[in-house]
Amino acid sequence: MPGRLNLDEKRIIELYTKKDMTTTEIAEFMGCNWDTIRKRLIKLGVKIREPNIRKGRFKGPKHFNFKSLLVKCATCGKKFYRSPYKIKHRKHQFCSPKCYYTYLKKTIPKNEVVCENCGKKFFRTPWKVRHYKHNFCSAKCQNEYRTKKTGPKKVRCAYCGKIIKRHRYRLKQYKLFFCNSLHRRMLQSFPTKATKIELKMRRELKNRKFKFKTNYPVLGICQPDIVFPKKKTAIFCDGDYWHGNKRRYRKLNKMQINQIKRDRIQEKILKKDGWKILRFWESDINKDIGRCVKKIGKAIRKLK
C-alpha cells in the first residue's frame, strides 16, 4: 500500500479560507491531486464551496504572489508566470508549444541521410534513422518509391501476347495472365466429368453415326455440351433444377433465375454470329431420347 501524503493541514485551510484559492490551485501548489485536498478538507470539517462561485483561474502576481514566479521562455525570451511545481520538474520553460518544438529542432542532434528515391541529402533524428528502414525527403518521394517496388508490372497475355499491367502481389497468386475474360475462358481447362444426360445423348448420337465435339469453346463465351462446328449448331443438355425448368419448378430461386439470364445472354450472342441452338431438358431426354435425336438430325439436314 502507498504511504499517506504528509501535507501541511493548517496551510491548506489557510489557503482555502483566507486566500480564497480553489482545490486545483492548492493541489498545484502542494504538488498533488485536487481530489486528495478536497477529501482532506472534508475530514478537517471545512465547508466546500460550490464550483460556480469562482469562475476561471487567477492570473499573475496580483492575486497570489507566493505561488506564481516570473520565468523566461527558453526560445523567444518572453517573460511569463509559472507555478513552482512546474519549475522544479522541468529544466526549460516555454511560453507556448510552438516555442517548445522550435527549441527541440535546434537542440536535438541530427544525422545526414540520403533519400532513397531522388538521392537528395537531408537531416534526420537518430531515433528515426534507427526505427525506419527507408529514408525519404518528402511524402512524394515515398509514394514514388512504393509504386516502383509494389506498383503494377508489365506482363504478357498468355493467349494473345498483348502487354498488360498487373499488380506485383498478383504475380505471387497467379502464373498465367489474360487481358480479358474471353481469353481466360478460351484457355480454361475443360470439365473432365460429364452428366448422365450428356452421356446418354452422346451414346445415342454415336450409335446413329453423328460426328461431333464435346465441350467445345464457342466465341470464348460458353462450352456447349455437344457441338457441330462445321454446321454451326450447339446442343445444350440442361438439368431441370440447375437451369430452372418452369414446368417442374413453379417458384424459382435466385440461382435458377441467374442461370436463366446467363443462358439467354449466351443465346443472343451465338445467334448474332449465325449459330443454331438446341436445348433439351433433363426430363425430355429421360422420357424419350430418340425424339430429341430426331430433332437434332432434322436441324443438321436443313443446314446442308
Domain regions of the chain by residue span: 69-106, 111-150, 152-186, 196-303
Could you read off the pLDDT tens digit of each residue along the chain, which spans 304 residues?
344 567 788 888 888 888 778 888 888 888 788 888 888 888 888 888 755 434 444 444 444 444 678 889 999 999 888 888 788 888 889 989 899 888 888 887 778 899 988 989 988 888 888 888 889 999 999 888 887 877 788 888 877 788 988 887 778 787 778 888 777 765 555 555 688 999 999 999 999 989 998 888 887 677 888 999 888 999 999 999 988 888 888 888 988 988 888 888 888 888 888 999 999 999 999 999 999 999 999 988 887 6
Q: What is the largest CA-CA distance in the chain?
A: 120
Q: What is the distance between the alpha carbons of residues 260 and 243, in angstroms, rounded to a whole number?
A: 6
Parallel, antiparallel or unpaired: strands 276-281 and 233-238: parallel
Number of Cβ within 10 Å of residue 136's Cβ equals 21
Q: CB within 8 A of 45, min separation 6: which ones?
A: none
Q: What is the DSSP string of 90-132?
A: -SS--SSHHHHHHHHHHHS--EEEE-TTT--EEEE-HHHHHH-
CB 26 within 8 A of CB 37: yes
CATH for 196-303, among 3.10.580.10, 3.40.960.10, 1.20.1050.10, 3.40.50.620? 3.40.960.10
Q: Is 289 helix (H, G, I), strand (E, B) or coil?
A: helix
Give the separation between CA 163 and CA 155, rounded to whole angstroms: 6
The reported pLDDT for the residue numbered 242 is 86
Q: State residue 57's pLDDT score.
A: 47
How many other C-beta atoms lie within 10 A of the C-beta of residue 75?
Answer: 21
Sign of the alpha-carbon torsion through 247, 249, 254, 255: negative
Backbone angles phi, psi at 109, to 5 degrees: -70, 145
d(CA 48, CA 40): 11
- Cα–Cα dist 257/143, whole Å: 46
pLDDT score of 186 = 59
